[in-house]
A and B are shown apart, each in its own frame.
Chain A
């Protein structure tokens, strides 16, 4: 059984992550209005998925011996399931990829998916190397 504290941590992290994703999406949309067409495969979903993978890597892959002390029990569910889980999204990634295929063709869709996977995995690994 898990405690109320854990549920609250997940819910709070989820609320924060979702609002952060919504904000970043709007920001990227605004920036793209001033950018050239060459930035087209970079959208808000890609940015949040990369940032969230970086944040999850920092939590899940960091060197445990480097930690200054034991994490409080709420930190892991708050960060991993709540914040990072909500900041990143799979459903919108698939909707964006499907939209990309309809609008710009299969090649552009594959480029978008490959960029997400590649940058996501690199960010995850990078997060793990970040101190502390």
Chain B
């Protein structure tokens, strides 16, 4: 075995590493991550508003950045048992809460009322299309960095 290559996860003293979160631990990780993710989005919304960006641009930036990072994390860790906290805390908690679909739907509806249905449809469908690109970009970049 290559001695320079350390195992990704240090072995627990009992050899059965690492500890899987119990149901309570998983809920706590999701809740804590959710609180953090929502706060982060609140802060960025505020910052976008302060520099005069339209709210749609702020939402798009949040959604695309969060989706890019989720792609990276999924490529790096997948649903691996070796990092049992990555999924509940980072993927479900932080990134799930940081990104939003409901605000995107609301902003698309507002835009449709102000600028016509085509503009609203373009915002929601275009956002998801760009989201797919961001996800694939994160997924591939992370995979190629390994």
Chain B residues with CB under 8 Å of A125's CB are 109
For the residues of A in contact with B, the DSSP-based class is helix
Cβ B96 vs Cβ A86 within 8 A? yes
Cβ A53 vs Cβ B101 within 8 A? yes
Chain B residues with CB under 8 Å of A7's CB are 39, 42
Chain A residue total in the interface (Cβ 8 A):
49
Chain B residue total in the interface (Cβ 8 A):
51
Cβ A18 vs Cβ B102 within 8 A? no
Nearest chain A residue, comparing its CB with the CB of B31:
A15
Count A/B pairs, Cβ under 8 Å. Answer: 176
Cβ A94 vs Cβ B134 within 8 A? yes
Cβ A15 vs Cβ B42 within 8 A? no
Cβ A86 vs Cβ B106 within 8 A? no
* Cβ-neighbour of A117 out of B74, B99, B128 (below 8 A): B128
Chain B residues with CB under 8 Å of A6's CB are 42
Q: Assuming A15-B34, A87-B102, A89-B97, is B131 touching A94 (CB within 8 A)?
A: yes
Chain B residues with CB under 8 Å of A13's CB are 38
Cβ A18 vs Cβ B37 within 8 A? yes
- B interface list, Cβ under 8 A from A: 26-27, 30-39, 41-42, 45-46, 63, 66-67, 69-71, 74, 88, 91-93, 95-106, 108-109, 124-125, 127-128, 131-132, 134-136, 139
- A interface list, Cβ under 8 A from B: 2, 6-7, 10-19, 21-22, 49, 52-53, 55-57, 60-61, 77, 80-82, 84-95, 97-98, 101, 113, 116-117, 120-121, 124-125
